[in-house]
Each structure stands twice: as C-alpha cells, then as structure tokens.
Amino acid sequence: MESSDPPFQEFYKKLFDSHARNKNDFKIFDVAEERELPMIDLGLEEEKCKMEIAKASQEWGFFQVINHGVSLDVLEKMRCEQVRLFHRPFHEKIKEGSEKFNFLAGSYQWGTPSATCLRQLSWSEAFHVPLAGISTTGDNDISTLSMTTKQVATKISNLAQKIAGILAKQLGHKPNFFERDCSTTSCYLRLNRYPACPISPEVFGLMPHTDSDFLTILHQDQIGGLQLVKDGRWISIKPNPEALIINIGDLFQAWSNNIYKSVEHRVVANKNVERFSTAYFFCPSYETMIQSCFENSVYREFSFGEFREQVQEDVRIHGYKIGLPRFFI
C-alpha cells in the first residue's frame, strides 16, 4: 500500500547526506520548559477581557481563549476530516488535487523547497485553503470536508474580527477598523499535518518564523510541539483541549508601532506520532497599505503585497524570512 507520507528523505537526500558528514557540528535544540499561555475567558466581564487581551498581546504576543464561540464538536470533526484527507496516498495529494480536492486545488505543499540545510527543512505538509475558494460540491468525502472547513472558517472569522477589534479599540481606533480590509476574500485556512519524524529532534516540524498577517488563530491536537520565544528563551506550549491559540502577526506589530508583539515560534517534530492543527490567517488584501497608527513610526509605510514579495524573495535567496526589519525607517 502506498504511503501517505511525503518522501522527505528521498527528495532531500543531499541535505541528509551533508548533515551526516557534518553531524559533529550540529547543535541539538535548546531544552524548552513547558508553560501555559495566558488564558482569557471571552465569557467574562467585557472590560476585563479586553484589558487581558491587550496585555497578553504586548507581553507575550500569544494567548489562548476559551468560550470562544467555536463548537468543540465542530473542531473535533475538522480534525477527523483532516486525518482522512492527509492519510490519502501521497500521489493523490500532490498530483490530483484539482480533481479530488476541488476547493484545495493547487494548494498542497510539503517540506521546504528553498532549504539549503537540514535546519531549514520543515517536516510537515499542508493544504492552504483561501476562504473565498471553498466549494461544497464534489463527492461525498470532499463535500463533507468542504462543509466542515467552511463551518469552522466562518466561526473563526467572526472571532478574528472580534479580537482585532478589541486590539484596535485599545489603541483608540474603532472596533470595526479591520472589517473592510480583512474579509473572506483575503483570509485563509492552513490544514497542517506533521508526520512522525524518525530523525527528530534533528529537524523542525516547522522552522522558526513569525507570521506575516495581523492575527493567527490556531486549533491544535493534544500531541504538543508548538514552541515560542519568551524573554529570550524557547518555551513549549502545553496543549489545552478547550482553547484556541491566538498570536499576533507582523502586520499588527507594524500597525501598532511595536506595542503588540509578533513573536518567533516553531513546531518541534515528534519521533513517534503525527500531529494535526488548523490555522486561520487574518490577512488583508495585497493592496492594503500598512502604516503605524501613531506618529514617529518605526516602520515605513508598505503594502501587504510588497511585504509578501519581500518575504518570498528572502526565503528564496537566504532560506529564511527576514520580515519587519526590512521595513525599518
């Protein structure tokens, strides 16, 4: 029976061979202490909730929420649909996406094509799903997947607008500030799978990075592996089955003039078990101009399209993202 796993070791053989020759120079991951993110109950008193969200966005760049309005049953159904999707044979996922996964056509990605060393390789696969492109037509399996994805996306879109509105209002702007620029035509979901990795911890599930959006909302399973930088050290985030994780992206950091923090994070591969997650990216259109909401901005004005192009060019040339430092005044 054909494997569902991407052929990492065959496709990236040169990287593995080079790593084997220079293994004495390899540095093992820093030991990461497991901690819990700030927990915010969205069902609590409104002003207290808003203050906690703003504080966590400034001090952590990450927080988790409960009573978020997204049914846990629907999130579990989404995870089950992802398992079925990713367990299809690899050739179906990579070659026949337009026929078999119509709303996911052309969006399947795996590994890191630009990697020049093993530390730049992400041991993962993903479907990038623009919200505007979700179709509920197709065979029964795909239709069920599409309907569940659309249901999850709709609920999380509402949550993203709510969180963004709170953060905008805390800086003196109207809570509907992002409704025009961040709509279903520009936001997207990423369905992630991190296969069991026989050479963990020598590769990442997802290499260290910051997110290139305003907000990311993440639902993960209970395997764990998400880590972030806090006070100059990597910490491991303890999974919570009832919570969604929110993190600030680069655009919010630029827009807030560094008040809200876009924090570097990564996923550590697991040697024995696979891991699944669903990430919602709260993005504007490529034409949207990003400028500080304060005078004396740290960053020059730029469009989201320009930012994305610069990130892609840096990854292609250097193998990693440089991000906001490219836009310092």
* Average pLDDT for 276-281: 97
Write down the pLDDT at residue 29: 63
Tell me the chain's radius of gyration from C-alpha atoms: 20
Torsion over CA: 211, 247, 111, 33 (sign): positive
Q: Which secondary-structure segment (H or E) carries 314?
A: helix 304-318
pLDDT by residue (tens digit) across 284-297?
A: 999 999 999 888 89
- Please report, for residues 89, 91, 107, 121, 181, the alpha-carbon distance to residue 95 in angstroms, rounded to integers and kept in the order given: 10, 6, 11, 22, 34
Residue 97 pLDDT > 60, yes or no?
A: no
Write down the pLDDT at residue 2: 80
Asked if 57 contacts 71 with a C-beta cutoff of 8 angstroms, the reply is no
Q: Is 143 exposed, middle or buried (0-12, 13-18, 19+ CB in 10 A)?
A: middle
Rounded-to-integer distance, Cα 180 and Cα 166, Å? 16
Considering the domain delimited by 27-295, tell me its CATH architecture: Sandwich (2.60)
Residues 6 or more apart whose Cβ sits within 8 Å of residue 118: 12, 15, 16, 18, 19, 202, 203
Query: Could you give the residue numbers annotated as active site?
Result: 275
pLDDT by residue (tens digit) across 301-324?
A: 999 999 999 999 999 888 889 999
* Average pLDDT for 227-245: 95
Rounded-to-integer distance, Cα 182 and Cα 1, Å? 43
Write down the pLDDT at residue 295: 84
Q: Which residue has the higher pLDDT, 193 or 26?
A: 193
Q: What is the mean pLDDT of the chain?
A: 90
Exposure of 113 in the CB half-sphere (CA atoms within 13 A): 5
Write down the pLDDT at residue 28: 55
Pairing label, strands 62-66, 244-248: antiparallel
- The distance in angstroms from the start CA to the end CA of the chain is 56
- For the entire predicted model, the pTM comes to 0.94
Write down the pLDDT at residue 95: 72
Q: What are the structural domain ranges in the chain?
A: 27-295
pLDDT by residue (tens digit) across 44-95?
A: 898 999 999 999 999 999 999 999 999 999 999 999 999 999 999 998 888 7
